[in-house]
Structure 1
């Protein structure tokens, strides 16, 4: 399983997880955007870079690289470091910078080449091993989400269900709660590509949630609201209780594209 794109999707949704990894917490982290940036002169593309707003010259640019497979060509460090300095040369930012190299497990780290040894003791170039996060029993939701990626099939389902329960307990905003649960589902889609969406929901216990009294009452309220004000008026409420756009379209008997449009508007608010 190539996990690079999965991690970048997670970081794009919640950039603060990167700052949790490097223990650099600040309210100003919310101002960062996570992007893929091309180094023009070489046509290299940096897949993960956290860029502060243009007015925040005191905040560092954070370069992120994820390694979830063996570096058989022995070019991981040289490529990452070269891309960083090519970016600095190309864009000439006034900001300081920091690099974070994330390994899903320590055994995938080929070791820092001796010609880059000046980075060994540097806080500016950090290496993180996700398989060692388990040593800390007080992981945040974000770090627990990353930990799911490297867990074996025999334990990951139970941990995923636990994380969903924690999400309901710790995240009070319904939109943020929904987005985080979707990220958990996304991890399972990558880990179990042969399973259907319904099978993944069953594995995570999400289908059990839909049988609870709270869910059913919200569903009934949404349907009643739809009958009174037009069916599409019920879409935002049904999204909040965790229904997919496909389920809402089928339940209300309305056009799927119209439901998706409302869902996109909700996410952008």
Structure 2
């Protein structure tokens, strides 16, 4: 998995993290939809665009995560932005947010675009300079974990998991956060299996809790219910299906009726 794609997954799943990175409240993410947008004329794609979810005057944010040296970075980034604006004509203000792994990878804004700096259209994030913010915020800490070296990643991951268990009251969000931390760890330690990651960070014990087990069982149940209409079409009776899937007959009947209604 490429590192930048992992960041875009984080922003899509937890949009509030991006706004924390640029010094705004995480709640600001509730008003946005994160998209990957294709630019038709050049057959290129802008991987990160935060578009206001409603007709408001909030700006559009263009995000580009950069982990490699690229002297033409700003030429490409701004070209894609202006093509997007020309094609979509959003009638909104906009911001460009380049996210660099390290400040040394920033080639500097070319003179052709420096007029944008005076208008504050560009805001930078340097992941190696997040500092204390990463310790204070669970979301920013997850971003920091992506770029942390292996020697300190284990300690930080444990702190984030503990922080999630303490701070997050919504069990569904807590599950998403912990599973995403696990995904980051699989990326950080490619030689370890998921079972080994679970054992190393005590995730196996956490996943035995009542809530995680309930979620797992819900997933299994949904999978079974999705097969009901196909089995009915094959000529099986409700009783036969219920016995085969270990469900009660009423659930089977309801699943079949829902399919008929749709």
Q: In the TM superposition, what are the counterparts of 1:136-175 in structure 2 within 5 Å?
A: 136=133, 138-175=135-172
- The CA deviation at 1:138 is 4.8
Match of 1:6 in 2: 6
Specify which of 196, 199, 211 is matched with residue 199 of structure 1: 196
User: What is the TM-score normalised by the length of structure 2?
Assistant: 0.78
Match of 1:86 in 2: 83
Contact 1:70 1:108 in 2 (8 A): yes
Match of 2:177 in 1: 180
More deviation in 6-15 or 103-112?
103-112
- The CA deviation at 1:42 is 2.3
Distance 1:38 1:117, change over 3 A: same
Structure 2 unaligned regions, length at least 5 = 228-262
Measure, in 2, the Cα distance between the counterparts of 1:260 and 1:158: 41
Structure 1 unaligned regions, length at least 5 = 219-235, 262-269
Match of 1:48 in 2: 48
Match of 2:59 in 1: 60
- The CA deviation at 1:257 is 4.0
Distance 1:98 1:154, change over 3 A: same
Measure, in 2, the Cα distance between the counterparts of 1:59 and 1:29: 11
Contact 1:19 1:25 in 2 (8 A): yes
Measure, in 2, the Cα distance between the counterparts of 1:138 and 1:206: 21
Partner-residue secondary structure (3-state), 1:201: helix
Q: What is the aligned length?
A: 227
Measure, in 2, the Cα distance between the counterparts of 1:128 and 1:148: 15
Partner-residue secondary structure (3-state), 2:97: strand
RMSD over aligned CA atoms reads 2.6
Measure, in 2, the Cα distance between the counterparts of 1:239 and 1:68: 39
User: What is the TM-score normalised by the length of structure 1?
Assistant: 0.76
Measure, in 2, the Cα distance between the counterparts of 1:97 and 1:104: 23
Measure, in 2, the Cα distance between the counterparts of 1:196 and 1:237: 20
- The CA deviation at 1:237 is 6.1
